[in-house]
Amino acid sequence: MSELRLQKFIADCGITSRRKAEELIVQGRVQVNGDTVRILGTKVNPDVDAVIVDGQIADLGSVDKVYLVMNKPRGYVTTVDDPEGRRTVMDLCKEVSERIYPVGRLDYLSEGLLLLTNDGEVANMVMHPSFNITKVYEVKVFGSVTETILKKLRNGVQLEEGFVKPLSVRVIKQLPNKTWVEFRLGEGRNREIRKICEACGLTVDKLKRVAIEGLTVEGIAPSKFRYITKKQLLNLIGVSEDGKKLEGDRAWMSSKKTVNLKKKGVQAGTAADDEAWIKYRKETYFKSVKELDERRKSEEEAAKAASLAARDEAHFARKKKKALREKKKAEANYKAPHAVIVD
């Protein structure tokens, strides 16, 4: 076998993704023929060189490639393990005997389509911008989205990591106080949609990835997953076995109709870019939810106390009326004596 870059070889062995493998090399956690290697350009021959990662021997022949399509729920971290002890997506597929890892990320509060595999080459195809794989998200934001807001989202924003612009943005559903918006991204950087929304003054309530090119989450219940073959996966994401982009647009198209704001108009209520919605953003989400929960409990306790007080008051009022009735009855039945004998 010809020589391979060390990080690619580690990924092909199913130990971790290529990107993570690069981090392990730099951290000095990889040995080649007994020597610690920290240079990313290092090449190895799988037939000759012995590679050990964190004490584990990397062997191409011992790995069965596995591909899982999961519908990630909210409240799970997209990582193999979490130092904070939070639940991870790996807790949802414990029955899978092979060592797999998530491809890309969906943050803690996000949900939807997540691919897990031990095939580093395929993982790289899905994540690398050069393959131009379209990712589709449905995002519910607080407030009413106007034409002006929609234009800002479509035009893109300048972030610290550079200029980002969605392939398309459209409104797909209007609610009394919230709006569903569909985003289509060509690159999909870390937390890109949340950052775009925040840069435009919007606050995300729910974020769900529904498709990666032609691969969708349809038919998979939250917290569940299904197996898929490599051939099926590559065909759906539009990449050939030799890693070349296939011709033709294979991106998934939603059946949900676009809401024409010019014709239908914006729903009544506070605009989506109003500062009143900021308290519901991720960094303050749990605090806001806790405050709302405490307020709700306080209101329920106050209502309960008022109800008990009203019931007690009604009870005492009934007792008072009963006592008056008995008094009147006693007075009505009272017969005075005909004569009183006085000594």
Q: How far apart are CA 169 and CA 182, in angstroms?
A: 6
Cβ–Cβ under 8 Å, residues 84 and 40: no
Q: How far apart are CA 343 and CA 338, in angstroms?
A: 16
Instruction: Identify the residue whose tokens are 């982009």.
Output: 245
Token reading at 180: 């569903």
Virtual CA dihedral for 198, 204, 208, 212, nearest 10 degrees? Answer: -10
CA distances from 273 to 125, 153, 204 (A): 36, 11, 11
Instruction: Identify the residue whose tokens are 């797909």.
Output: 172
Q: Which of 207, 155, 202 is nearest to 182 (CA)?
A: 207
- Which residues are identified as catalytic? 107
Pick left, alpha or beta for residue 224 (phi over 0 → left; psi -120 to 50 → alpha; otherwise beta): beta
Q: Which of 74, 33, 71, 28 is nearest to 51 (CA)?
A: 33
Q: Which long-range contacts (CB under 8 A, 24 or more apart) does 317-326 make?
A: none
**How many other C-beta atoms are found inside a 10 Å radius of the C-beta of residue 22?**
19
